[in-house]
Amino acid sequence: MKVDFLQLIPTKYLSHTKMSGLNAQYATAYIQAIAKFTANQTNPGGNLDMTVSLHKILRLGTSQTIGGRYYSIYAEATIQDGVLAISGVEGPLPSGNAIGSCGQLTLNIENLDSDWTPGMLSTFTYIWNKWHLNNMRPTCQHQRELGQTYITHPSSICITCGYVLGSNWISEELPETVILFLESLPETNRIPAWI
């Protein structure tokens, strides 16, 4: 199976970081390497077994407060019964609090973890935004292709399959490339207080 992973990632995700010296060209080179690796894999069934279980704690990098205090940014990625769930925390503290946000983050990483590349972060961010809770889609495939959302087209009826937008949660199968990418990510090199 030939996979063009670059086609899955909008350009805006290839250069979203604020780190100096990073650019879309560097991120694109990394994504091309992942695509080449994935294209060389063989899987007669087309997709991986959806009972795949994955649990990873990832240290993405660091940032600092206005006062100059540095903190680590972590994410937890799990796949259970074909459902991807990702959440993050900025500077988890032993008290159970955090220096920054937790849950669904807008990443503002000043320094990448040494095990990460800009391309890895761009790809991870794209996957997080697109595939988190892939079993809770309010639209059918046809409505997604037309760009319909619950906000723009509440209760619209799909002319192809008759599905009423927002009437049910629809599961969208994770692509094999997403699973392979998440499996390839490095586990944290520091243990967070919590995640």
Residues 148 and 66 placed together within one structural domain of the fold: no
Residue 194 lies in a domain: no
The residue type found at 162 is G
> For residues 145-154, b (16+ Cβ closer than 10 Å) or e, as one string?
ebebeeeebe
The residue type found at 168 is N
Residues 117 and 65 placed together within one structural domain of the fold: yes
Region 149-177 average pLDDT: 92
Residues 118 and 160 placed together within one structural domain of the fold: no
Share the mean pLDDT of the chain.
Answer: 81
Strand partners, 55: 78
Residues 76 and 154 placed together within one structural domain of the fold: no
Instruction: Pick the range with the lowest mean pLDDT from 33-42, 62-71, 130-139, 169-178.
Output: 33-42
Residues 127 and 148 placed together within one structural domain of the fold: no
pLDDT at 150: 85
Structural domain of residue 163, as residue ranges? 137-170
User: Rg (Cα) of the chain, in Å, rounded?
Assistant: 18
pLDDT at residue 30 is higher than 70: no
Confidence of residue 176 (pLDDT cuts 50, 70, 90): very high
Measured CA to CA, the distance from residue 68 to residue 52 in angstroms comes to 41
* Tens-digit pLDDT profile for residues 72-83: 999 999 999 999
pLDDT at 51: 58
Strand partners, 92: 98
> For residues 102-120, b (16+ Cβ closer than 10 Å) or e, as one string?
beebebebeebbeebbbbb
Residue 111 lies in a domain: yes
Confidence of residue 26 (pLDDT cuts 50, 70, 90): very low
Residues 125 and 163 placed together within one structural domain of the fold: no
Q: 0.75 exceeded by the pTM?
A: no
* Tens-digit pLDDT profile for residues 98-157: 999 999 998 889 999 999 999 999 999 999 999 999 999 999 999 999 999 888 998 899
Instruction: Pick the range with the lowest mean pLDDT from 34-38, 103-107, 159-163.
Output: 34-38
Instruction: Pick the range with the lowest mean pLDDT from 15-19, 86-90, 160-164, 170-174.
Output: 15-19
pLDDT at 125: 95
Residue 191 lies in a domain: no
Residues 43 and 123 placed together within one structural domain of the fold: yes
Count of structural domains, the chain: 2
Region 168-194 average pLDDT: 93
Task: Judge contact between 62 and 73, C-beta under 8 A.
Answer: yes
